[in-house]
Copies of this chain bind each other. A is one copy, B any other.
């Protein structure tokens, strides 16, 4: 089954907004086995929108239109789809009522043209999820005797995602005749390069390919490490989960503590969780990283219950792993926490390979330090250094892993 994506909006063509929606949709279509061979951006122009959607319907089974569902005269996606379906628009009273309620709830008067959003092509269904004032649409139609479908979702990313996940992806799978469930899990790893990780798991991936039960894909994600996505197809969600759990266990046996988390977990969310669980507080000293560590952690711990404080300063004569350890202890003692961590650069960069950083953690049961040479420009080295330090702490908090 093929599904094209049409992103609507003159602001996309003018580069005022980057179209991230099509990428997200393409990724999620691929995950359920649907090909997206073309993705087109087109401005808010009736003729060009109509031509684009018609062409997409000629070469594909389904089209997802993203954007152009707002209340202004520019927003004509509804009208264009009605024209292609060859039908009139009719006002959906339930939607109209809902839009009125939203404005009342905000205590604001509703401009009358907002009710345009409640106009629906005859024969189209509205999408149940409606996080904003624009309803999404499922518009079935027949082209040259073939059943096809056009979906309309808003351009606001979180509204689009909610409708895609709640309705469109399932509807596409149903239409594709696929009855099995596709489910996937992402294993988050740190410390491997992409090719080294692929090599380590090569035999396993090969045997998987033969069995056909699951597939594995690698995705290099910069300071987020390498993501390993395990995807399984099965008759039920439970069966797919079981295949994935078995896969994850096999992979964990091979790459062990390079795995720091799963799915939406990040290095800092994992470390914060471990500290919370153990009732430990932490402070950090940063020179090279200039506050990035504090920024990332306080985003998840805004009241600073676990991360009690950070010091950003040049460390003067401190150097090497010993220097980082002194900085970690100093942060711990200054703020009065259970744990101190620190990352510093060399005092004489010329005496070390480019990108050398020293990371140290001062724990209740002793200190641990690590030296690494990180690749890239300074901004990249700074970010990598933060993750390197958090990874050192993670491994020391859970040495049994």
Q: Chain A interface (Cβ within 8 Å of chain B)?
A: 12-20, 22-28, 30, 36-43, 45, 48, 52, 219, 286-288, 290-295, 297-299, 302-304, 308-314, 335, 378-379, 382
State the number of copies, please.
2
Known: A290-B297, A299-B382. 8 other contacts (CB 8 A): A15-B23, A38-B48, A38-B52, A286-B294, A290-B302, A292-B295, A295-B295, A310-B312
The distance from the CB of A111 to the nearest CB of chain B, in whole angstroms, is: 15
Question: Chain B residues with Cβ under 8 A from A303's Cβ?
Answer: 314
Question: Chain B residues with Cβ under 8 A from A43's Cβ?
Answer: 37
Question: Chain B residues with Cβ under 8 A from A290's Cβ?
Answer: 294-295, 297-299, 302, 304
Question: Chain B residues with Cβ under 8 A from A42's Cβ?
Answer: 37-38
Residue ID in chain B nearest A305 by CB atoms: B314
Taking A219-B16, A309-B313 as contacts, is the C-beta distance between A48 and B37 under 8 angstroms? yes
Residue ID in chain B nearest A295 by CB atoms: B291
Taking A15-B23, A27-B14, A40-B39 as contacts, is the C-beta distance between A313 and B304 under 8 angstroms? yes
Residue ID in chain B nearest A345 by CB atoms: B302
The answer on a CB contact under 8 Å between A304 and B294 is no
Among all A-B residue pairs, the 7 with the closest Cβ atoms: A290-B298, A291-B294, A15-B27, A291-B291, A309-B313, A15-B23, A310-B312
The answer on a CB contact under 8 Å between A311 and B314 is no
Which of B45, B219, B378 is A302 in contact with, Cβ under 8 Å? Answer: B378
In the assembled complex, the Cα of A292 lies from the Cα of B293 at a distance in Å of: 10
The answer on a CB contact under 8 Å between A16 and B27 is yes
Taking A38-B42, A40-B39 as contacts, is the C-beta distance between A312 and B291 under 8 angstroms? yes
Taking A14-B30, A30-B14 as contacts, is the C-beta distance between A291 and B313 under 8 angstroms? no
In the assembled complex, the Cα of A379 lies from the Cα of B296 at a distance in Å of: 11
In the assembled complex, the Cα of A28 lies from the Cα of B401 at a distance in Å of: 52
The answer on a CB contact under 8 Å between B20 and A39 is no
The answer on a CB contact under 8 Å between B299 and A379 is yes
In the assembled complex, the Cα of A286 lies from the Cα of B48 at a distance in Å of: 51
In the assembled complex, the Cα of A312 lies from the Cα of B48 at a distance in Å of: 53
The distance from the CB of A162 to the nearest CB of chain B, in whole angstroms, is: 17
The answer on a CB contact under 8 Å between A312 and B309 is yes
The answer on a CB contact under 8 Å between B39 and A13 is yes
In the assembled complex, the Cα of A45 lies from the Cα of B309 at a distance in Å of: 53
In the assembled complex, the Cα of A15 lies from the Cα of B7 at a distance in Å of: 14
Question: Chain B residues with Cβ under 8 A from A15's Cβ?
Answer: 22-28, 30
The distance from the CB of A276 to the nearest CB of chain B, in whole angstroms, is: 17
Which of B30, B52, B302, B313 is A310 in contact with, Cβ under 8 Å? Answer: B313
The answer on a CB contact under 8 Å between A41 and B22 is yes
Interchain residue pairs with CB less than 8 A apart (17)? A14-B26, A14-B27, A18-B19, A19-B19, A19-B22, A37-B45, A38-B40, A38-B42, A290-B304, A294-B294, A294-B295, A295-B295, A298-B312, A303-B314, A309-B311, A311-B311, A311-B312
